[in-house]
């Protein structure tokens, strides 16, 4: 957590709940994915915001995230999508009642060995239907079942992950993955295991009805991202509201005369007499240097383009029009880096575009700064 700065992240838990409810219209078993500190929105706070909504299962990444969640008093079932990585993780499955997605035969054998000492345990199984990161391939199910039989391990969930549900041209790939998953789940059912099956992420569930199986895993739309923004499917994600706003203070306002350059490398030279505001935020606050001469901020409801390089703790923006139009900017005013009031609010997608990344990364990185909840 970054703790030396003036950047403030403001989270609106009502919008998290709103986004959860929208998604719940698709299915009554929606698993909020709150890995990586809830995509920068706060693990504990996001859990507390959603628990009263009747969540059946939360999903995190590593087992230690699940342990942390238990530590703050979460009583709901927790799925650790990445499964145990070391002996401490394996023990934690029993100690903290964690449902782990097991994705490899060696991992399965370690957990089975621990079950011999610790007793029975519910587990999830992760299937690789095309992502080629983690998971059992269809041809590996027999071997997995040999380990499971008589071990005390009880598969109660099967999961797989879609590689390109948010790419409108990839319909065939997605449907192929779903078909593979259905046949693997069918195989488990035939072997006598009645599992809760889930393959849908945010984009999958919105665009592919067939992906809505036993439960859905909701990540980016919970935080107000629209996986289809800018595509022909944009309207599918229209109702989600961003829950994160980010501000930093204006430190000083001064003229930048025609012909004068600003910041490291003098990469920007004013082509007219102008006014700049120096804002107290930089790449040490995870506000990327890649935004140099590209990004925009919002001050008094009006856009202010970044001039010159983003520095470690400072970034200059052009406020010439603000001064001319009677929206005078002064030290102490807050500049919005994300969100803000009015029709020109900076959207997660826009900021990500200037930054050269996706809204997921913007949330994770900016969310490492001090947060306030409204």
Ligand X SMILES: *Cc1c(COP(=O)(O)O)cnc(C)c1O
CB closer to ligand X out of 57 and 201: 201
Chain centroid offset of residue 183 CA: 29
Task: Consult the annotation and say whether 312 binds a ligand.
Answer: yes
Q: Cβ 123 to ligand X, closest distance in Å?
A: 15
CB closer to ligand X out of 181 and 268: 181
Q: Cβ 219 to ligand X, closest distance in Å?
A: 2
Nearest residue to ligand X by CB is: 219
- The answer to whether the CB of 126 falls within 8 A of the CB of 95 is no
The residue annotated as part of the active site, out of 20, 35, 39, 223, is 35
Q: Find the radius of gyration of the CA atoms of the chain.
A: 24
Q: Cβ 6 to ligand X, closest distance in Å?
A: 30
Q: Cβ 165 to ligand X, closest distance in Å?
A: 8
Q: Within 13 Å and on the Cβ side, how many CA atoms surround 365?
A: 20
Task: Consult the annotation and say whether 132 binds a ligand.
Answer: no
For 207-245, b/e burial (b = at least 16 CB within 10 A) is: bbeebbbbbbbbbbbbbbbbbbbeeebeebbeebebbbb
Q: Cβ 246 to ligand X, closest distance in Å?
A: 19
Of the candidates 262, 273, 268, the one whose C-alpha atom is nearest the C-alpha of residue 321 is: 273
The residue annotated as part of the active site, out of 149, 171, 258, 264, is 264
CB closer to ligand X out of 129 and 218: 218
Written as six digits, the tokens of 184 are: 């693997």
CB closer to ligand X out of 217 and 322: 217
Q: How far apart, in whole angstroms, are the C-alpha atoms of residue 234 and residue 221?
A: 12
Residues near ligand X (CB under 6 A) are: 33, 35, 81, 161, 201-203, 217-220
Written as six digits, the tokens of 321 are: 């029009």
Catalytic annotation on 35? yes
CB closer to ligand X out of 5 and 347: 347
Q: Cβ 203 to ligand X, closest distance in Å?
A: 6
Q: How far apart, in whole angstroms, are the C-alpha atoms of residue 128 and residue 176?
A: 12
CB closer to ligand X out of 159 and 313: 159
Catalytic annotation on 287? no
Known binding-site positions for substrate: 133, 312
Q: Residues annotated as binding site?
A: 133, 312
Catalytic positions, please? 35, 264
């Amino acid at each position: 957590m970054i703790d030396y700065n003036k950047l403030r992240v403001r989270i609106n838990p009502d919008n998290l709940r709103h986004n959860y409810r929208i998604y719940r219209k698709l299915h009554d078993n929606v698993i909020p994915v709150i890995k990586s500190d809830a995509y920068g929105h706060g693990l504990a706070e996001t859990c507390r915001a959603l628990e009263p909504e009747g969540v059946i299962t939360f999903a995190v990444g590593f087992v230690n995230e699940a342990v942390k969640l238990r530590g703050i008093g979460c009583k709901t079932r927790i799925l650790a999508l990445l499964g145990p990585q070391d002996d401490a993780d394996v023990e934690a499955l029993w100690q903290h009642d964690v449902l782990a997605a097991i994705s490899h035969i060696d991992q399965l054998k370690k957990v089975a060995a621990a079950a011999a000492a610790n007793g029975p345990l519910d587990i999830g199984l992760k299937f690789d239907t095309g992502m080629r990161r983690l998971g059992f391939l269809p041809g590996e199910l027999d071997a997995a079942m040999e380990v499971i039989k008589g071990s005390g391990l009880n598969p109660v969930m099967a999961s797989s992950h879609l590689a390109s549900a948010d790419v409108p041209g990839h319909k065939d790939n997605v449907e192929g993955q779903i078909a593979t998953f259905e046949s693997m789940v069918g195989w488990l059912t035939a072997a006598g295991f009645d599992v809760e099956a889930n393959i849908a992420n945010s984009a999958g569930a919105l665009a592919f009805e067939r992906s809505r199986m036993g439960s859905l895993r909701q990540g980016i739309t919970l935080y107000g991202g629209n996986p289809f923004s800018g595509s022909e499917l944009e309207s599918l994600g229209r109702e989600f509201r961003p829950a994160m706003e980010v501000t930093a203070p204006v430190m000083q306002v001064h003229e930048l005369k025609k012909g004068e350059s600003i910041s490291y490398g003098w990469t920007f030279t004013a082509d007219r007499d102008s006014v700049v505001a120096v804002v107290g935020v930089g790449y040490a606050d995870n506000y990327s240097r890649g935004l140099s001469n590209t990004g925009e901020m919002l001050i008094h409801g009006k856009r202010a383009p970044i001039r010159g390089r983003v520095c470690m703790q400072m970034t200059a923006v052009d406020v010439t029009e603000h001064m001319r139009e009677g929206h005078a900017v002064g030290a102490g005013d807050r500049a919005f880096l994300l969100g803000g009031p009015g029709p020109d609010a900076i959207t997660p997608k826009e900021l990500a575009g200037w930054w050269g990344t996706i809204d997921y990364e913007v949330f994770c990185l900016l969310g490492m700064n001090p947060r306030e909840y409204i």
